[in-house]
Structure 1
Amino acid sequence: MFHVYAQNVLSISIFLSASLEVTKNEIPVPETAIQAEQLALNARRDIKTAEMVVKSTLQMLGRSEPLINEYKLSFDQGKFRIDSYSISEMAADNKKLLKRIVFTPDIFIDYTPRLTKNKRLLAVRYLQNPKADPDQVENRRMNVFDPRLIGVVPYSLASLHAFSLDETPGRPDRTESSIEQVDYEGMPAWKIGYTRQDDIVVRLWIVPSMNFSVVRSEQDNVASDGEFTDITISTMHKTENGIWFPESVDYQRIMKTGDYAGQTVEEETLEITELKLNTKIDPDNFSMISMEIPAGRSIFEYPPHPNGGRIWNGKKIVQSAKKDPLVPAQPEETGNKWLFLISVNFALIAAFLIVYLFYKAKKDSTSS
């Protein structure tokens, strides 16, 4: 594996060295599609920190109104923070906080401020040492995604949690791979095509002059309701410090077969309204104290704290004065609870029998 990786790195290095001898419009086509894809991914890997605000407008077939959300995203070399808001264009106070998530190698914090019928959501989920339990980490990562993936893979923003820069594109599990130079909106570009081993057909357009940006991505796939094509088109922007990144992304899912053949069943527009790349981020941004959690909120911990329920006091996690109902009861408490319930049931049965026998004896004496 390391030998293959080293060969790819060497090939890319040789290719880049050759590219420096020609102008940007004359960058030669790489020998393999994987080399071209790695150039695109390396450009995103060079983004070490990111702060951005992304507005998502999602329209789904059968839904009368679009779903509009705004995401405030922060990334700092393995640390993630996502503040998500719902936006209503009909209301004056049109932005409501849905969730705040902080995920680092040391902690996972999930804060949901809104009141719901599910009392468990009233607590703050808090996971210590995520590396200790991979299953818990995967479960918690369901709402965490790498913002550097925006525009790279043809999926909606809510689906990006399933991918990483180390998984796609650039995957070696492919057949019928091809690469050719084409014109893309007046710019020289590389068009890549291949079929993955799971039969998903992939097409990518990379523009070398935009630091090897993926400007268009397509995938042909199949689901229970038929075959479909996912398409992502990015409008690129060059930041003040010279980094290319999308300023907007349009995503579509178009059905090819089935009941909705020829129709767009899902459509999303992303607008990156604020963007800072490779600038210093305050470390407190990835801490619990910066999440504006109200004092008194219960903490639902995994693994459960040995002293039982704890709360957030506005500055730190402290022991709760009363038993937190969200903390699982200890085995001995569970046993005592069952003994109490059994005793109550026997008492009720005995009381019923006494009343029944009393009235039966009274009825028999009246009859005689």
Structure 2
Amino acid sequence: MKRMYALACVGALVLGAVSLDAEDISAIDKNFRVATVGKLQVNYFDALKKPFELTGFAWRREGEPLYRIPKNFTEKEINRGVLSLARHTSGGTVRFKTDSPYLTIRADYNSFGDMSHMPRSGSAGFDLYTVGDDGRELYLTTIQPRPENRSKTLEQRFNNVPGGKMRSYTVYLPLYSGVKNLEIGVKPGSKVLPPDPQKIGKPIVFYGSSITQGGCASRPANNYTTMLCRAVDAPQINLGFSGSAKGEIALAEAIGKLDMAVFVLDYDYNAPSAEHLAKTHEPFFKAVRKANPDVPVIMLSKCSWISPARRDIIKKTYDNAVRGGDKNVWFIDGQELFGEPGQNMCTVDHCHPNDLGFYMMYRRVLPVLLEALKSQK
């Protein structure tokens, strides 16, 4: 049998050259280690490293935990809720190409969302999409964790993987959970390549409440923010923080420094009072605009429990910007977001959208988003 010899980078190892059987290369390169998932043999790869492309974490550097805000923020700059919820991976994706006929996932959580009014498949699940023959993303399956995965490694096969040739895939990360480790498994010998570039290279950035974060979609890719980014083929930075988006100026200044395609400002629900909203909304917008004079900004008022007084506060920010000569601002009245089905059909609790609600929001916001993107060409 042919032998392979592991050599040190400079000369021989102190203990001499170590001979390994060819199939034991896994002792050198862990990516060659074969695992078994059901009856499948699998090579696992760290999905947070190249050739995989990780999006959704604007301030993260390679090797750092998945965290959605600058890591240096403390309670001096931002409230405790944001600091905690920043571990949730809402808006995050892993993109790649492979010719593997099957795919698996292995993941560990550092925060596990399991709520009474939101499916676990949305709060803690993973969606898998591929690119169809028409060039658009096509839904394949959802990984649905069990309660024991709160502390036990999740390992499952992705169903409905077409295989057969080199294909592009996107994994959408959980909306209300934190992911500590994430690996994608392929058939041994399969190729794993970087993904094709997205049509819009700069991310669309969203700042807002639990609704922005994705509560209560049945699966990660059904959040309206993700539907929008998928429709225009752009990366997403989701800064939705359940109950905690208070309009702090430090985060506005950090957002303003991002190189983004569009900014969507949607934190009406989390301002504890109309007075708080009036005190923070226009300063938040102005901080972003000062740092980023030309980025298109879309402002939304809340989609349920409509408050004309709060809506007028947000509209005033928009009106003042327009009067000041700003041509890159848009306003959407939240009362229009659910359309004809209305709050009774579009929410799970008279507040948080269900999948229909998120789809209606997507339909109302998409034309405005397309107009905002067109304004930059």
Decide which structure has the larger Cα Rg and report it.
1
Higher-strand-fraction structure:
1
Give the TM bin, normalised by the shorter chain: under 0.3
